[in-house]
Structure 1
Amino acid sequence: MGSGAYYVQTCPFGEGSSVRMIWLATPPANLGPSPAALARRALARIRLEGARIGIAPDPNGAGLIGLPVWLWTAVTANTWGPTTASASDGGLTVTITGRATQIVWNMGDGSSVTCANPGTPYQASYGAARSPNCGYPAAGDNGPGYHLPSRTQPDGRYHITATTSWRVEWVGGGQHGVINTTRTSQTAIRIDELQVAVS
């Protein structure tokens, strides 16, 4: 048959319709977008964000070598999900749902922590305890976390990057699929070493 493709032709009449397969050498005029293209259109209508970073020690203060760092994000539809949107064209509607699946925290010293949850906000009553689900050092790691003061860094601070992975599922037009994307946020903290006075 040469170049071309089969297309589904729907002819509405009365309260019903007639559906048949037809062969066309060239695409029909005004052929609407595919479900996948509509999913991308819907994706452009929602705001997927990186982490709204919470961290202890506070970036306005300083932590100490050997003390744990707590990591978390504020949980909203835009920072963790779920968030939904739809796009329509030519009678076809596609709906997407986006959810964060993990955050990879690059700690600025060559180490990283992967958290499949938004983390737990630190409270003063926790003292020097480790985060139960997202911190540095990571759960099960008996190391000290930061083992050098941040004065060893060019500007005296460790620069932390949080990369959120988003999984966006779409469905419509008898099809479904997944779009994976990431968003990034940054912060910086100062880590000092404990000075012991000897008299």
Structure 2
Amino acid sequence: MLKRLALAVAGGAVFGAALPATAHADGNGLCGGTDSWVSVCATDPGSPASNGSEARHKPAPKGSKGGKPKVRSCTVSRLNPQPPAGSAVWKGHKPGDGAIYTRSCIFDASTAASTLGVPLPLQTFWSATPPAATGPDPAQLAQQAVDKMQLKGPDIVSPSATGRWAVGVPVWMHVGKSATTYGPNSATASAGAVTVTATAKVSKIKWAMGDGSTVTCTGAGTPYQKAYGKRTSPDCGHTYAQTSATESGKEFKVNATSTWTVKWTGGGQSGELTEVRESQVEVSVGELQALG
């Protein structure tokens, strides 16, 4: 009968415990049907699938939601130096008849955030031919690179909360340019031998002006100068047709939503991601006062 054996140490005592009979080896050193991480899934000595070894058991991390964590990426390396002849890890084979390899894997967060990046115990095993490694997903590395950028919403310069705005007078919207608020912004992320580089830049900003109007600008906008008089902005502007007197706080809430386009390459692949960030400012709009 197929069994799963576990060794644990508690208070200096060593004891054995049987795991569920439904457990099985999945090829990545993980026993299905348990909440345990194992380096080897073994059967009883003498059974058809036996290799005479025991499964080493470690409890799942605190906060685990149960279920089987998924291996995120694995690295396989040829052990150097190779074990001496007669070592149990050769499983009856002789040096030169295949080789001994190690496999190192990490979990993703499919069962609990606390498992993200947690390493699976190192496996040592014999193989007649070099086994394939399960490499990291370049798209996941691209998202990690984006997270490093700490992208923010638009740095609204105009309209400002301290400015004086009036019905019928053009507003020139524009934002400040920095790596975190407009771009370009670049970062890299690596796992094993794979490195992904991502570059992000704002491709458009959608302005909700608070009076029901929206304006989409494909640039940062042009800063206003007194010499422009009452001309409208050439690339990003709005003219209010009513005051904000009836609004809560007697101000329009202006929302600026930036769309970041992220292009990445690495691991023999390339792709594009989209990120969205938002900023807000409250502005007071009144009537022009005629001078007597």
1:129: Cα distance to partner? 1.5
Structure 2 partner of 1:73 = 175
* Distance (Å, rounded) in 2 between the aligned partners of 1:171 and 1:88: 12
Say which SS state the counterpart of residue 148 (structure 2) adopts. coil
Q: Secondary structure at the match of 2:144?
A: helix
**Match for 1:115: what amino acid?**
C
For the Cα contact (< 8 Å) 2:76–2:104, is it kept in 1? no
Q: Runs of 5+ in structure 1 lacking a partner? A: 13-27, 137-144
| 3-state DSSP of counterpart to 1:69 | strand
1:32-181 equivalences under 5 Å are: 32-56=135-159, 58-136=160-238, 145-181=239-275
SS where residue 120 of structure 1 aligns?
Answer: coil
Q: What residue is the counterpart of 1:23 in the other structure?
A: none
Give the TM-score of the pair, scaled to structure 1.
0.77
1:57-99 per-residue CA deviation (whole Å, 9 max, x = no partner) reads: x421421111101100111222221111111111100010101
CA distance in 1, matches of 2:146, 2:287: 46
Partner of 2:16 in structure 1?
none
Other-structure match for 1:141? none
Q: Which runs of 5+ in 2 are unaligned?
A: 1-25, 28-74, 79-102, 106-133
Q: TM-score, length-normalised on structure 2? A: 0.53
In 2, the alpha carbon distance for the partners of 1:11 and 1:60 equals 62
Q: CA deviation at 1:197?
A: 7.6
Kept after mapping to 1: 8 A contact 2:256/2:278:
yes
Whole-angstrom CA distance in 1 between matches of 2:244 and 2:260: 31
Instruction: Letter of the 1:48 partner, please give it.
Output: L
- Number of residue pairs the alignment of both structures matches: 168
Residues 13-66 of structure 1, C-alpha deviations (whole Å, 9 max, x = no match): xxxxxxxxxxxxxxx76244210111111111112121110114x421421111
Q: What is the alpha-carbon root mean square deviation over aligned residues?
A: 2.4
Higher Cα Rg, which structure: 2
Structure 1 SS opposite 2:149: coil
Question: Distance in 2 between the 1:66 and 1:127 partners?
Answer: 13
